[in-house]
Amino acid sequence: MSNNPQKLDDNIITATFTKTDIAATQLDHPAWKQAQVVRIDQYWSGSAAPAGRTAEAAILWSDEAISVRYRCNQTEPLIVSTKPVLDKKTIGLWDRDVCEIFLAPDPNVPERYFEFEVAPTGEWIDLAIHTMPEKRETDWEFHSGMTAAARIEKKLITMAMHIPWDHWIHKPQQGERWRVNLFRCVGSGDNRGYLTWRPTHAPEPAFHVPAAFGWLRFG
């Protein structure tokens, strides 16, 4: 894990531009060393999570796509599918170990955002979300063209996702700002942990709180 994590009170992540499009499978590409490191080490409530559950995230972007990589401490048994499906989205992936990013390309409408997840198995899911006070609408058929990859090592899991630009998720201009939050789910049952970059401070574990989103700046 990195020695220069982002401060907890920061609410801006800089996505680093790279001339090379970084595929999800390129978990150790040198470009990742240039990316800002973001700590995911608090529960949704704002309380500190134990070190064995914390994670780091980094974001790169190119002319073709946005890439996100997670490096996660893992000191407890994995909660994953024994028969992972990799050629299509996995509904219910959020019920197992997973890392997530919520992206709202229009900063003036943060309640309309996209949810992307990746699991230690390499499984993934992409969804379009509209959160309203009375309900949340989810487009289960949304297709971003994302790809994902993962590697499990002793006490460390590395996962990445690659999301191409399209008419839904437009290619940004340098300096453009979106709304964003990052998450990790780990464990099961009463020991289930819901970690965030920006705590939502909801009464119960909850990630779908646009008001808690921070900022993603494309540098």
**What domains can you pick out in the chain, each with its CATH number?**
18-218 (2.60.40.1190)
Which residues are within 8 A (CB) of 189 and not within 5 positions of it... i.e. 6 or more apart?
A: none
Q: What is the pLDDT of residue 184?
A: 98
Q: In 110-176, which ranges are E strands? A: 112-118, 124-131, 136-139, 147-153, 156-164
As a whole number of angstroms, the distance between CA 1 and CA 15 comes to 19
The SS3 call for residue 28 is coil
Whether residue 29 is predicted with pLDDT greater than 80 in this model: the reply is: yes
pTM: 0.95
Q: What is the pLDDT of residue 4?
A: 42
Whether residue 7 is predicted with pLDDT greater than 50 in this model: the reply is: no
Question: In the numeric block, which tokens belong to residue 90?
Answer: 């996995």
Contact between 180 and 216 under an 8 Å Cβ cutoff? The reply is yes
Whether residue 162 is predicted with pLDDT greater than 90 in this model: the reply is: yes
* Mean pLDDT, residues 10-27 taken together: 96
Q: What is the pLDDT of residues 73-131, one digit of tens each?
A: 999 999 999 999 999 999 999 999 999 999 999 999 999 999 999 999 999 999 999 99
Question: In the numeric block, which tokens belong to residue 8?
Answer: 């907890």
* Mean pLDDT, residues 171-182 taken together: 98
